[in-house]
Chain A
Amino acid sequence: MKKNDIFKHINDEDAARIAAEYPTGDKKQRDRLFRKVESRVSSGFTAGDEVRGVDAYRPRIAMKIASAAAAVAVVAGAGGVGYQLLSSVSRPTGSSIGSDMVQAQTEEGSAAEAATASGAITKEELLEKIHSRNYEAYDRINMKYRETMNGVSFMDGVIKRDGLTGNESEMKTWTHTPEYFRDMDEETLARDNTTPEKLAESSTHNEMFFVKDMFICVYDNSDGESQALYEIADRSTWLLDQPTAFSDTYSECLIRDRIDHFDIQEINENTTFLGRDCTDVFMTYVSGEKTVSDAAVGLPIVPRMAPEEGSETTFDKYSDQELYLTVDNETGIILKAKLIIDEEYYEEFEVNELLFDDDAELPENGEYIRNRIAGCAPVSDPSSYDLSIID
């Protein structure tokens, strides 16, 4: 499907639905256009025949819009993120990424040579370590992790994999701080009778179960107004878990689309995180300094976890970027990552718990899944799927 085809055949009801769920235009834009409207009204503008169609209008079946009011509030109030970096991060922040990074990049060659001379691992060796990770190599593996956007938006995830059967589960919960809604205009807050603090109390929760050839997903939120939904599909159509559900994590996105573009500035192979021996790496990318193909020259390693090689990359070559990684020495799994873009925006990934084999839990069983979907409404007709295979 092409981008331009996504909204090719939208009718008026759908347009109204989109407007209700996804309001557009920030306050500045609305103010500017409203001034034009007032100017036109006061100048005596009169419409021509635009209203003739009113008689022909027939109200159509209203579509239920799940938590439209909340969506309006969320979208309208999402502006004004604080941009503050987490104070708990002890590493240097990106406060000097501009000229300092250029300087660091300029000295990259000598730094890399120094690293090699002192016995520290090279970029190629680091990538080889990372690409050696293999989530399918364990009888069981569990990972709890958190993905953070600028310290105001969070996604907490838990992935469980049974290596013997290939069954997996993935739980995701999205939350926001009041700061995420801080710049919401007062009119909208008053209209929806809410506050940033109240909005921050709501969350969205997905539970995904990959059982044999079946994929079951529960979509839920905490607004208390809309019923949770579930859908069943063929697992083969769900590309985000291929080859494993771990492919859906932020760290795997980094590996697939980004990490090759960075150059190592600092490396420390003797650190500890979650009681595991790790390697900490500080890497940088300076916008416009090199092309993607230049950055990849001489790297013989092909990412093993990449589910597919698309024509697009998430890498933004026009922004200066810093990347901090903590890599587990034994498994090659990235346990922490922090990406800082243009000094102000950052994304962070951190594993809270990593368990293997006997220490790890199995994915949720058939009884749990049945109970979970019992109170949910199906997105589409589930009758063509035989749920008995999950037992």
Chain B
Amino acid sequence: MTDPEILSLMDSSPQQGHRALFEEYYSYVYSIAVNILRGYGSAEDVEECVVDTFASVINNLNGEALKPFIGTVTRNKALNMRRALAGHLGRKISIDSDEFIELPSSERLEQNIEDSERTALVLQRIKELGEPDSIIIIQKFYYERNAKEIGRLIGMKPAAVRMRCTRAMKKLRSLLGDLD
């Protein structure tokens, strides 16, 4: 469903419009949220962030281009939550940590390109594993889903998911052997 269709549906039938918006952007929002909250919050925290984001988007949407608007809301929600969680956990982010390094713009650009190339390579290698291994690896290590959740998603028993995951990880390690 396109953004104009979603917006139109939100006008004519708000609940259906909300659902359409949610379905279209759920994975996008979850993906950004889990990426920012990784290492700070639980799966429940990520879900809370997702719910907060959609509620906020629905209440504040004003005809903007949906994707950038939703992306920005998600990012800000997740960063706020991460700060709160870090404080709650008593964690302080060192000025030496990656998160606080202020690189000169040229170095930052270079670093971003390097990270992006590295990510592209990793994703390519994961894709080469074929299905369902590629799906399992992404769901497990990116979305941090457990074997039961992944099993429901791809129609496999949790035990089988664990088994395939271990095997796929081993293969992936071989494929990424030259990557630090």
Contacts and interface: CB of A to CB of B under 8 A. Distances in A.
Given A75-B153, A345-B157, A345-B160, A18 B31 contact: yes
Contacts of A176: 131
Contact of A26 (B56, B73, B76, B149): B149
Given A206-B128, A312-B170, A7 B38 contact: yes
B12 interface: no
A222 to B, nearest CB: 14
B119 A14 contact: yes
B132 to A, nearest CB: 7
B135 A12 contact: no
Interface in A1-51: 1, 3-4, 6-7, 9-26, 28-30, 33-34, 36-38, 40-41, 45-47, 49-51
A57 B64 CA distance: 12
Given A28-B152, A344-B157, A15 B35 contact: yes
Interface residues of A, number: 86
B10 to A, nearest CB: 11
A6 B122 contact: yes
B148 to A, nearest CB: 11
For the residues of B in contact with A, the DSSP-based class is helix
Contact of A40 (B55, B69, B164): B55
B75 A7 contact: no
B32 interface: yes
Contact of B169 (A3, A21, A45, A49): A3
B26 to A, nearest CB: 6
A24 B132 contact: no
B179 interface: yes
Interface string A319-350: 10000000000000000000001101100000
Contacts of B86: none
B152 A45 contact: no
Contacts of A22: 27, 134-135, 138-139, 142-143
Interface residues of B, number: 86
Most buried by A among B47, B75, B131, B176: B131
Interface in A51-74: 51-54, 56-57, 59, 74
A20 B156 CA distance: 22
Nearest to A60: B68
Nearest to B152: A26
B180 interface: yes
A191 interface: yes
A34 B24 CA distance: 12
B83 interface: no
B141 A3 contact: yes
A78 B155 CA distance: 6
Given A37-B55, A341-B157, 18 more contacts: A4-B141, A7-B35, A7-B141, A7-B142, A12-B75, A15-B35, A24-B153, A26-B152, A34-B18, A50-B73, A78-B132, A78-B153, A81-B154, A150-B155, A150-B156, A153-B132, A180-B155, A219-B127
Interface of A: 1, 3-4, 6-7, 9-26, 28-30, 33-34, 36-38, 40-41, 45-47, 49-54, 56-57, 59, 74-75, 78-81, 149-150, 152-153, 155, 172, 174, 176, 180, 183, 187, 191, 204, 206, 217, 219, 237-240, 253, 257, 310, 312-316, 318-319, 341-342, 344-345, 379
Interface of B: 1, 15, 18-19, 22-23, 26-28, 30-32, 35, 38, 47, 50-60, 64, 67-69, 71-73, 75-77, 80, 98, 112, 115-116, 118-120, 122-124, 127-128, 130-132, 134-135, 137-139, 141-143, 145, 149, 152-157, 159-160, 162-164, 166-167, 169-174, 176-180
> What are the 6 closest A-B residue pairs judged by CB atoms, nearest first?
A47-B56, A81-B155, A19-B31, A9-B115, A40-B55, A239-B174
